[in-house]
Structure 1
Amino acid sequence: MLHDTPPVLRTAPPALLQPLLQPVSASTPSVPPTPAPSRTPVPGERDTRLDTYRAICLLMIFINHVPGQYLEYLTTKNFGFSDSAEAFVLISGLSAGLAYGRKFLPGNRLALSLRIWRRAFTLYIAHIMSSIITLAIFAGGALYFHRQDLISEINIRPLVDNTEQGVVAMVLLGHQFGYNNILSMYAVVFLMLPGMLLLQKIGPALLLGVSALVWLLAGIFHIVPINFLDHNYWFLNPFSWQFLFAIGLVAMMRSRKGLSLPRHPALVSIAALYVGVSFAWVLFSWWSIDFSHGLPAVLTGFDKTFLSLTRLLHVLALGYLLAITPVFNRLSRLRLDHPLVMIGRHSLPVFIFGTILAMIGQVLLFVTGKDPIIGTLFVMVGIALHFAYARYLDWLGGLSTIAPLKT
């Protein structure tokens, strides 16, 4: 999902825009009563739907980041233009609207902006640490298994050949390893978030208009952060992907005002037709069909870096169809102590944990001749470890609420 393999072979996990099926309000119970709530303190009216979808994305990311095993073919990545990267960013925009949208008020804007930028710094640190651990995993594998060719994997070689420049480049986000490039993009988008919230306060149409213009210009003129060592650029361009994030932000703010999604039959039919064509296009490999007619690739191609319109429309159409289907709304409202909800609630540490596991899995497959059976067994164990780690994080969070013993 997050590396330089062909972007046209991936699709988004189901149930992206479910949180918009019903408006989010304090008067509407968001989850059914549960006799055994999670040990981690969470708001009593927490809407678990976003946690559920985020967890699905995280598990999809992990599975797809260990390529060459059988479970990879059971994910949804091969059945549409978009993939779990688009889903993750869209859900992040929805979450940002829920977390910050109503708090961005006069007198509180500077303090909230500083909180948001602190979160961006946390994402930056997480990216750097996961990159260092990735480097250590591959270097350790090369030493232990005597497989120096491991160093040529996932764009590690340029850093090893130019160590001094490479370390500086990595810290300055000027060099990225394969499968380690979503947090850096996400951090830059978070730096933009206060500006998005300000435009949203002026008017949602203004935010979407400015965001769409930035997306279009970035796609046409290739405005994108560069990589220093290989004279290339970021695999996920934040100036392109911010548009999807902004759409999620505006959608959540609309939902919080009590406005539901439009359900006109024509709109439903168009969305369904687009999803169907996308499914057939990928399934039957119609990539040789050229419908560009001289238009920019960002409008007619399938590029992941600049989030081509085909990918953007697919994740929105798929999400819209699932959002207006009541059964998905019901199924995604899980208990606070449900394993999927726990994974989604601890998304950042679980994402880092999954990335580290996936890098270990890649080394394991490399030194075993890419044996799909070994890879499948590793991924199955890794999925179980995701649930165990989320449970541990929930338990650890619960410990902080226990009053210390008096001496």
Structure 2
Amino acid sequence: MLQKLQFEPSADDGQTGTKRSIPAKRDTRLDVFRALCLITIFVNHVPGQYLEYLTPKNFGFSDSAEAFVLISGLSAGLAYGRKFNVGNRLALSLKIWRRAFTLYVAHIMTSIITLAIFAGGALYFGRQDLISEINIRPLVDHTEQGFVAMVLLGHQLGYNNILSMYAVVFLLLPGMLWLYGRSPLLLFVASAALWLAAGVFTIVPINFLDEGYWFLNPWSWQFLFVIGMICMMRARAGKRLPRHPVLVALSAGYVTLSFFWVVFSWWNIDFSYGLPAVLTGFDKTFLSLTRLLHVLALAYLLAVFPVFSRMARLRLDHPLVMIGRHSLPVFILGTILAMAGQVLLFVTGRDPLWGSLFVIVGIGLHFAYARYLDWLGGLSRPEAVRA
């Protein structure tokens, strides 16, 4: 599997996420799938244009956010699983927490830039109603409290909520690794219990300026991250996923059911039977079981059929590989572009054609920026790495 996830500490400069060295035999599979998630997240964050209807959220219970967090867990297990040893735990924990702080800073930076984009749109186009979009209004009405709340993660702007959740999960990562060292089953049970308790008892970080809470609850989403981490660490120990016909049939059946459920809008079917919503609903905040099982079923099918693995083995200089390799800076770029795209759609009367053209250009900028980061990283290497 691949060496590092750019959202995790790696051989980078600590600022831009640019690699100083790239393993010559780097496995590109997670890079490719991560790049596809990043592009899809960008497309979904510019709602109201045509390309949005082609993304996975229209064909199943889960979307690219679930896939991205699962891949992040896999990558964390790969990057840290064998390093969390006696004598190295404190140093590695500090390194992980430094990355969590980097994610926090990136979240604050993108939030401030988002405010500037929407405020600039309101000034330049004379559209003060832009300030009422994506939860900006509370910051304007309560400026002093609002900025304190934003810095303390007590207020989040719309479409600016992934990095904060991910930073909290990273704060928990050393504890996850410690529990795994005691027993993988203990880690799984503890993580599952936290996920279930968060969903049943609404345990979630709150917002300070209203009665709401975080859109992506880290106490829920950590479970998906842990599942990915455990799977990777077991795989590195030589324990392969079982390719059993029953598991394949169940996974394929659930993915198919999910497809028809979403495409034909069967949301009015009630199968709760009095059970908690986290087990029978479709809530994204608390990562309901329906969404969790869907992304795991898809991942299982991708993992057990070699054709998907072969398709994702690409050259190191392939555009998708470069995007996946520089995931944090590319994600930041995608967030900023998406916010500009939302303003564009707003001032053009939500014209889907303009939005679609913007998204196509934005995807091209993703590739161009990843290429630039790769070139920049190559300047610090004695020789450019070739696939």
Check if 1:280 corresponds to 2:260: yes
Contact 1:117/1:190, CA 8 A, preserved across alignment? yes
1:163 pairs with one of 143, 149, 157? 143
Letter of the structure 2 residue corresponding to residue 77 of structure 1: K
Check if 1:64 corresponds to 2:44: yes
Contact 1:241/1:306, CA 8 A, preserved across alignment? yes
Moved more, 40-49 or 158-167: 40-49
Partner Cα distance (1:318, 1:167) in 2: 40
Check if 1:51 corresponds to 2:28: no
How many percent identity over aligned positions?
A: 79
Partner Cα distance (2:327, 2:273) in 1: 42
Give 1:41 deviation, angstroms: 2.6
Partner Cα distance (1:164, 1:347) in 2: 33
Aligned to 1:345: 325
Check if 1:306 corresponds to 2:286: yes
Give 1:308 deviation, angstroms: 0.3
Normalised by the length of structure 1, the TM-score is 0.89
Check if 1:242 corresponds to 2:222: yes
Contact 1:40/1:394, CA 8 A, preserved across alignment? no
Aligned to 1:118: 98
Give 1:177 deviation, angstroms: 0.4
Check if 1:182 corresponds to 2:150: no
Give 1:44 deviation, angstroms: 2.0
Give 1:260 deviation, angstroms: 1.3
CA RMSD in angstroms, aligned pairs only: 1.5
Aligned to 1:394: 374
Q: 1:275 to 1:167 in 2, by over 3 A?
A: same
Moved more, 252-261 or 209-218: 252-261
Letter of the structure 1 residue corresponding to residue 244 of structure 2: H
Letter of the structure 1 residue corresponding to residue 58 of structure 2: N
Letter of the structure 1 residue corresponding to residue 377 of structure 2: G
Contact 1:274/1:317, CA 8 A, preserved across alignment? yes
Partner Cα distance (1:186, 1:293) in 2: 33
Give 1:402 deviation, angstroms: 4.8
Aligned to 2:128: 148
Check if 1:383 corresponds to 2:363: yes
Aligned to 1:295: 275
Partner Cα distance (1:93, 1:339) in 2: 23
2:210 pairs with one of 222, 230, 236? 230
Alignment of 1:247-258 (within 5 A): 247-258=227-238
Q: List alignment gaps of at least 5 residues for structure 2.
A: 3-17
Partner Cα distance (2:54, 2:172) in 1: 36
Aligned to 1:215: 195
Give 1:400 deviation, angstroms: 1.7
Check if 1:374 corresponds to 2:334: no
Letter of the structure 1 residue corresponding to residue 23 of structure 2: P
1:94 pairs with one of 74, 84, 90? 74
Partner Cα distance (1:277, 1:267) in 2: 15
Aligned to 1:199: 179
Moved more, 63-72 or 162-171: 63-72
Alignment of 1:2-41 (within 5 A): 41=21
Give 1:259 deviation, angstroms: 1.7
Partner Cα distance (2:271, 2:309) in 1: 36
Partner Cα distance (2:382, 2:77) in 1: 31
Match of 2:81, SS state, is: helix
Give 1:401 deviation, angstroms: 2.3
Moved more, 267-276 or 165-174: 267-276
Letter of the structure 2 residue corresponding to residue 73 of structure 1: Y
Match of 1:129, SS state, is: helix
Paired positions, count: 369
Q: Deviations over 1:248-290 (max 9, x none)?
A: 0000001111221111111111111111111110011011011
Match of 1:103, SS state, is: coil
Q: List alignment gaps of at least 5 residues for structure 1.
A: 1-18, 21-37
Check if 1:358 corresponds to 2:305: no
Contact 1:40/1:395, CA 8 A, preserved across alignment? no
Aligned to 1:30: none
Letter of the structure 2 residue corresponding to residue 51 of structure 1: D
Match of 1:231, SS state, is: coil
